[in-house]
Structure 1
Amino acid sequence: MMAGLGPLLASLAAMDVAAFTRRLKRNVILYALALIFLLTAYALGVAALAIQLGSLWGMPIALLVVAGGALVLALIMYLWVVMENRAEARRKREAAASSSSKALMVTAAISALPVIMKSRPLLLASAAAGLGFLLTRNMGSTDRGHAREPAE
């Protein structure tokens, strides 16, 4: 247990903690200033849009249009996040199912191994089947994404 912690503790001790904290503080301050300027630009852009639309349609209508636009953008972003979360959950389920089926196949192969090892014909047949599988798999991977030319 302690032997596994040795390299981790050595790398932690070798890390310059003072330089790390200086860099972290500098980055936090610079990102905070950038965020303040970004929010200021956003607020002034929305205000300019409201003033421009207000000169065309009147202020109440312009403010309603700007608020509606912000609401539509927020709804689009929310739906995008929901769809991404569902896709990620589906990928996780598929990966879990794939890994469980692989584990089941490995378990079945290991449990059948003693029977195959005792029988010489089964050993030869399984070796031939394994080689055939590997050859077909490798041959299939060389053609991916390339169109075959027609024979003349």
Structure 2
Amino acid sequence: MGPLTAALSALLAADIGATTARLKRNAFLWAIIGLLLATAYVFGLAATFLYLSDRYSPIAAAAAIAIALAVTALVLFGISVMLQERDRRLAEERRRRRQVQTNLTMLAAAGILRKQPLLAVATAIAIGALVGTGKRRARRDDD
């Protein structure tokens, strides 16, 4: 069992190393892309300001850009609030469904307990064994 465990852990370490290297590379590339896009955004704002200041006064151009950015921020804020509300509703629906499933399971368990007590005891022992093994595994993972 020792050589097999060593081989599997070496394979796992190689996969983790490759994944980590790929994630670092992607993070670095996305950081550069983000920096370039932010720079392009700033130059786009500057070009828009220069164009508008030629047609109107510089104060009107700056005010127009500020208003456009504020309206865009408010729209994005509204979208964010709507998405959070939708996520909250979906989470509430999932919680409600889980409660219904738990209630149905408890009703079924009560029915089994009344009609077949031996089967209910065996099921309880099996569930207890599964829950007990899961807790031991969790403790080992923490160490």
Question: What SS class does the counterpart of residue 107 from structure 1 fall into?
Answer: helix
In the alignment, is residue 55 of structure 1 matched against residue 27 of structure 2?
no
**5+ long unaligned stretches in structure 2:** 117-143
**Per-residue CA distance 1:106-140 (angstroms, 9 max, x = gap):** 211221235567xxxxxxxxxxxxxxxxxxxxxxx
In 2, the alpha carbon distance for the partners of 1:108 and 1:28 equals 51
**5+ long unaligned stretches in structure 1:** 1-6, 118-152
Q: Larger helix proportion, structure 1 or 2?
A: 2
| One-letter amino acid of the structure 1 residue matched with residue 33 of structure 2 | A
Moved more, 57-66 or 15-24: 15-24
**Per-residue CA distance 1:59-82 (angstroms, 9 max, x = gap):** 100111101111111111111111
- Tell me the residue number matched to 1:108: 107
Q: Work out which of the two has the higher radius of gyration on C-alpha atoms and give 1 or 2.
A: 1
Identity %: 26
Distance 1:19 1:113, change over 3 A: closer
Question: What SS class does the counterpart of residue 15 from structure 1 fall into?
Answer: helix
| One-letter amino acid of the structure 2 residue matched with residue 84 of structure 1 | L
In 2, the alpha carbon distance for the partners of 1:38 and 1:108 equals 58
- Tell me the residue number matched to 1:19: 18
- Tell me the residue number matched to 1:67: 66
In 2, the alpha carbon distance for the partners of 1:12 and 1:70 equals 53
Normalised by the length of structure 1, the TM-score is 0.62
- Tell me the residue number matched to 1:88: 87
In 2, the alpha carbon distance for the partners of 1:84 and 1:18 equals 36
| One-letter amino acid of the structure 2 residue matched with residue 15 of structure 1 | A
Moved more, 105-114 or 28-37: 105-114
Paired residue total: 109
Normalised by the length of structure 2, the TM-score is 0.65
**Per-residue CA distance 1:1-45 (angstroms, 9 max, x = gap):** xxxxxx9xx568623254344333322322221111111111111
In the alignment, is residue 28 of structure 1 matched against residue 27 of structure 2?
yes
